[in-house]
Amino acid sequence: MFYEDPMRIDNALRFGDVLKGFAVCTPVINKPPLPDELNCQIEIAKPPFYVILSPCCSIRDEIISLAPLVQIKNSLYGNPYYAEDPTRINGKIEPIYSLPPAAWDNMDAVEKAGRLSKGPSYSLLEYFIYKEHDLFPQYEVHRKDGKIFTRHYMIDFRAAFKVACKSIQSPEMSPIQCKCLQLTTETRSQLIDKLLVYFSRPSVEEIALAV
């Protein structure tokens, strides 16, 4: 199961939980550095759902890290392997499935062999797909072979943000009424594993030093 049974949901906030009732505030700075006076554009949005990216033990001190749940990009459905089950993006996959069939078939033989030699790996590292649920609004996805409707959503790790909230003192002493869904232990581990790989990728300089 992707989500915990409602009868087993903790009366506390947990990493990976789906929340409602927050907002996203994004500063838009086109030409940094800013002068001494604060003069920049602020974009405010209120998506219906968010995911907790704070570790459970860090949900305290009036601070929490969230990422908005957003609709899956149409382009992801261009890969039949993902279109069949978008949550496949969450785990390691064989290289041959990481691209649409036409892109794989047209790939240079040397590059293809190099990818195959590495074995299963993560693809689209920035994204984690949340399985469809009746709680989520249905939306339309446009594909070359016609439109479909889905309730799958995703988070983009790059869109994580901090919220200051006086109601958050600990996982248990928090606005539990905002909690909508809780991941199973297995799904939460999958989210942790991909997030760790996303943040632990070595830089070009580190790779060169390791050679």
Residue 210 lies in a domain: no
Asked whether the predicted pLDDT for residue 75 surpasses 70, the reply is yes
Asked whether the predicted pLDDT for residue 109 surpasses 90, the reply is no
Q: Distance between CA atoms of 142 and 64, rounded to whole angstroms?
A: 35
Residue 20 lies in a domain: yes
Domain membership of residue 147 as a residue range? 6-201
Q: 27, 39 in Cβ contact below 8 A? A: no
Residue 17 lies in a domain: yes
Mean pLDDT across the chain:
92
Number of structural domains (the chain) is 1
In this prediction, residue 202 has a pLDDT band, given cuts at 50, 70 and 90, of confident
In this prediction, residue 209 has a pLDDT band, given cuts at 50, 70 and 90, of low
Q: Distance between CA atoms of 47 and 24, rounded to whole angstroms?
A: 8
Cis peptide before 33 (omega within 30 of 0): yes
Residue 211 lies in a domain: no
User: Tokens 């990818």 label which residue?
Assistant: 115
22-30 long-range contacts (CB < 8 A, ≥24 apart) are 22/46, 22/50, 22/66, 22/163, 22/178, 24/68, 24/159, 24/161, 25/161, 26/161
Tens digit of each residue's pLDDT (9 = 90 or more) over 156-191: 999 999 999 999 999 999 999 999 999 999 999 999
- By residue count, the chain amounts to 211
Q: 72, 152 in Cβ contact below 8 A? A: yes
User: What is the token pair recorded at 211?
Assistant: 């050679």
Residue 167 lies in a domain: yes
Residue 117 lies in a domain: yes
- pTM listed for this prediction: 0.92
Query: How many angstroms separate the Cα of 134 from the Cα of each of 73, 148, 175?
Result: 20, 16, 23
Q: H/E element holding 116?
A: helix 109-118
Residue 165 lies in a domain: yes
What pLDDT is recorded for position 205? 67
At 9 the three-state DSSP class reads coil
What pLDDT is recorded for position 7? 82
Residue 106, burial from CB neighbour count under 10 angstroms (0-12, 13-18, 19+): exposed
Residue 143 lies in a domain: yes
CA 197: distance to chain centroid? 13
